[in-house]
Structure 1
């Protein structure tokens, strides 16, 4: 198996484990507060990331000059996770996954706004089509029934900001430091809310909470390994298999079936992502060939 194939396998494992993480969040039930779920998810990652940073003999909290970026990434990540977990609780698993996978398109917007990256010819029409697809999933109404879908959409915007900050930090800090910093801020940030409104979980809920952190940690490390074997531009598209996994898990565990509009909207999101992926890969090959002349 070559490096590209290994990267694809790890990316699919990551997508599957993130879908399982979302399923555990939902299985933990509505009696467990959102902040408690977020706390448990990050507590497991905190210990794993701590060991990873220590193995590299790095500084747990990174370089002083990068503190504002590390803190901003962590706060965005925490806000994105809280809103995402809320949408998981209230929406079908597939719908929450579809909305969450809008985040790469917001990365494109933020990278253009703050990192001065240029938009390709296909990205502007692609984003317009994707936002129309998002409306099909959200199904706007003039009442509070759309709140969970709107929150899910907001989670994608915030996650886009967090991933943009990760791009800023990728050559400045070790990935383990970024994960540890984020996990530490998330645990400290949610701890007061957990103390104020702590719900003692029963055995089934406790298992789900622990597995939320375990599956998230496996997914994160599988993603990291995937990017070591191949560049993101070549394999990121496989992360959209998360939508398929979420739909399958939602059907078999929760007896959920996305409605026609959601299926159309989700299919458009995946299709546009594939088209942009193929276009960017083709353009990169052309640029590479031109550079060799």
Structure 2
């Protein structure tokens, strides 16, 4: 098995695990407040990450860092992204959350230009604009509706788009962290900081969940940690440009879980909008891959 194939399989495994994790979170959303959901997700993932790092011989050396502020910024962005996504899961259908969450690569393109000073040419900006047309398509039934439910759905949509933006910002921070930090530090401090930050929500209405909800939350945390390890291994085995498009394979699983678990039938608008967003994201990733190869060839000639 080649490294690229191994990386792809690990990426598909990771996104499948994260999809099941999100379903478990959604299933507890009527009973457990968002901050408490984030804590369970982060704390039990942290236990898995510590076990993984210990098995690799990277613990407690993973505690040593030369860029704590970088980890803190990444942790803040990650905690915000996770909180907003979990909040949205309690409002929108599972397919809607997944479709709008696919905007992260589009937002990352914009942020890379604004924060990192990367050159974004007309082709990519047109592709990003097309992706946001897909967002409008997904949301069109909400815009066309009336009453409190429509307002609540718009709040949920704003939350998931905010989550996608913060997730993109977290990726910007990771790009900076990799210059000085190893994988062990990045993974460990991400889980640790989100655990600490989410624990601050304790005074704001934590509940004693039912046995079923507790089991689902613990499972979500544990498999979330496994998914993080698979994701890290995927990018270690294959270039980002190879594995990144496989984020979108989760949509089929999302549709199945939404239908069979939550009795949610996606609208034609959701399917069409998701397709437009996915195509835009894949085109951006493909374009990045071509530009990366071109830069590498140019550097090799000097």
The TM-score with structure 1 as length reference comes to 0.92
Gaps of 5+ in 2: none
Summarize the alignment of residues 176-215 of structure 1 with structure 2, pairs less than 5 Å apart.
176-215=184-223
Could you tell me how far 1:130 is from its partner in structure 2?
0.8
Q: Please name the residue that 2:39 is paired with.
A: 39
Q: Please name the residue that 2:84 is paired with.
A: 83
Q: Please name the residue that 2:111 is paired with.
A: 110
- Quote the Cα distance in structure 2 between the aligned partners of 1:226 and 1:121: 31
Q: Please name the residue that 1:217 is paired with.
A: 225
Q: Please name the residue that 1:51 is paired with.
A: 51
- Determine whether 1:73 maps to 2:74: yes
| Alpha carbons 2:11, 2:230 under 8 Å: kept | yes
- Quote the Cα distance in structure 1 between the aligned partners of 2:158 and 2:77: 17
| Alpha carbons 2:105, 2:281 under 8 Å: kept | no
Which deviates further from its counterpart, 274-283 or 222-231? 274-283
Could you tell me how far 1:117 is from its partner in structure 2?
1.6
Which deviates further from its counterpart, 193-202 or 172-181? 193-202
| Alpha carbons 1:62, 1:173 under 8 Å: kept | no
- Quote the Cα distance in structure 2 between the aligned partners of 1:244 and 1:194: 36
Paired residue for 2:169, among 161, 185, 209? 161
Could you tell me how far 1:192 is from its partner in structure 2?
3.4
| Alpha carbons 2:29, 2:89 under 8 Å: kept | no
Q: Please name the residue that 1:250 is paired with.
A: 258
- Quote the Cα distance in structure 1 between the aligned partners of 2:248 and 2:254: 10
- Quote the Cα distance in structure 1 between the aligned partners of 2:208 and 2:115: 43
- Quote the Cα distance in structure 1 between the aligned partners of 2:116 and 2:250: 28
Which deviates further from its counterpart, 98-107 or 195-204? 195-204
Q: String of CA shifts for 1:175-218, please: whole Å, max 9, x gaps.
A: 22222222222222222323542211222111110111122112
- Quote the Cα distance in structure 2 between the aligned partners of 1:57 and 1:191: 23
- Quote the Cα distance in structure 1 between the aligned partners of 2:231 and 2:97: 20
Which deviates further from its counterpart, 193-202 or 169-178? 193-202
Could you tell me how far 1:290 is from its partner in structure 2?
5.8
| Alpha carbons 2:137, 2:273 under 8 Å: kept | yes
Could you tell me how far 1:89 is from its partner in structure 2?
1.4
- Quote the Cα distance in structure 1 between the aligned partners of 2:130 and 2:255: 22
Q: 1:187 to 1:281 in 2, by over 3 A?
A: closer
- Quote the Cα distance in structure 1 between the aligned partners of 2:78 and 2:300: 40
| Alpha carbons 2:87, 2:156 under 8 Å: kept | yes
| Alpha carbons 1:122, 1:276 under 8 Å: kept | no
Q: Please name the residue that 1:144 is paired with.
A: 151
- Determine whether 1:63 maps to 2:65: yes
- Quote the Cα distance in structure 2 between the aligned partners of 1:270 and 1:105: 10
Q: Please name the residue that 1:132 is paired with.
A: 133
Q: Please name the residue that 1:101 is paired with.
A: 102
Q: How many residues align?
A: 292
- Determine whether 1:268 maps to 2:269: no
- Quote the Cα distance in structure 2 between the aligned partners of 1:287 and 1:193: 46
| Alpha carbons 2:65, 2:185 under 8 Å: kept | no
Gaps of 5+ in 1: none
The TM-score with structure 2 as length reference comes to 0.89
| Alpha carbons 1:29, 1:205 under 8 Å: kept | no
| Alpha carbons 1:112, 1:119 under 8 Å: kept | yes
